[in-house]
Amino acid sequence: LQQRRGLRLSAPAAIQVTVRDALNQALDEELERDERVFLLGEEVAQYDGAYKISRGLWKKYGDKRIIDTPISEMGFAGIAVGAAMVWLRPVCEFMTFNFSMQAIDQVINSAAKSCYMSGGSISVPIVFRGPNGAAAGVAAQHSQCFAAWYGHCPGLKVVSPWSSEDAKGLLKASIRDDNPVVMLESELLYGVPFEMSEQAQSKDFVVPIGKAKIERQGTHVTLVAHSRPVGHCMEAATVLSKEGVECEVINLRTIRPMDIEAVEASVVKTNHLVTVEGGWPQFGVGAEICARIMEGPAFNYLDAPAVRVTGADVPMPYAKILEDNSLPQVKDIVFAVKKALNI
């Protein structure tokens, strides 16, 4: 009625939403949308999740949709894969991806390869999700990035969100996908609020798998990262802009399939490339990006060698000062950019 009278109605404004709440929204909306979707994992039901990602879902959907499991990753991952083979849509939560090593046979040999080995007759629409990479003070066995591990394997899709919009949109897209998806979240981002647009607040919002996002436009150097290091790149870009260096920051969002076209287009514009990741350097995500750029048409536009910023090539130390020095910091990215630009 107000619109008919010519009055202008204000659109819903963007709001601040934590990554934790964005993931919770995505799960809630997809559980409501499709009765085939269910969540299983350790402490996901009555305890509301170890990181409270599944807060309130057990009370709303009950034991058949939100399932607490024993501490047996190989067992419950196998149950989830079997359920996906008969066209349910399980979301299998690992309390951390370090524990997915207990179930890696199920993830790779059962989930990733079944469609190929069955000649396309068996789809496995499953999501393996949970925190990945370094947390804080949990030492070597709980602080490794699995992006390169799972990104190496054909048959999987691998996503790695940074912001709340990434988290919500990628999880919804992953649940709806007919292929197995590994979703690598960051524990250190769960409590971080990000602006969520009006569009992202819709139940129909998804982030397409395989599409990177330019978080900041720039002309002098391309910074490519995924997960938490995207934030470090944004901070480094702010620091460098005060010195007259404008960085283009690409949030990779998806590790496999990789949106190398977005990186190539940026490198053609900036003529310089720096990759940033929390994982180890050897055979890492940055190494793959550099190889793809070298093998493709954008190589001819590089004015200097690409530079990688990675975690240190050591098991994660426990002491905080050593931990900080084992992970990429803003100062490391600034140094790498200046090295690439020879300034």
- CA distance to 53, 227, 241, 251, 299, per residue, from 134 (Å): 18, 11, 28, 19, 32
The reply to whether 73 belongs to the active site is: yes
- Peptide bond preceding 257: is omega within 30 degrees of 0, i.e. cis? yes
Q: Which of 142, 152, 235, 246 is catalytic?
A: 142
Q: How many helices and strands in the chain, by DSSP H and E?
A: 12, 14
Q: Which helix (H) or strand (E) holds 230?
A: helix 229-241
**Sign of the torsion formed by the C-alpha atoms of 219, 274, 157 and 326:** negative
Q: Which helix (H) or strand (E) holds 111?
A: none
The reply to whether 142 belongs to the active site is: yes
Residues facing 129 on adjacent strands = 93, 183
State residue 93 phi and psi, 5-degree precision.
-95, 125
Q: Which of 42, 73, 93, 288 is catalytic?
A: 73
Q: Which residues are tagged catalytic?
A: 73, 142
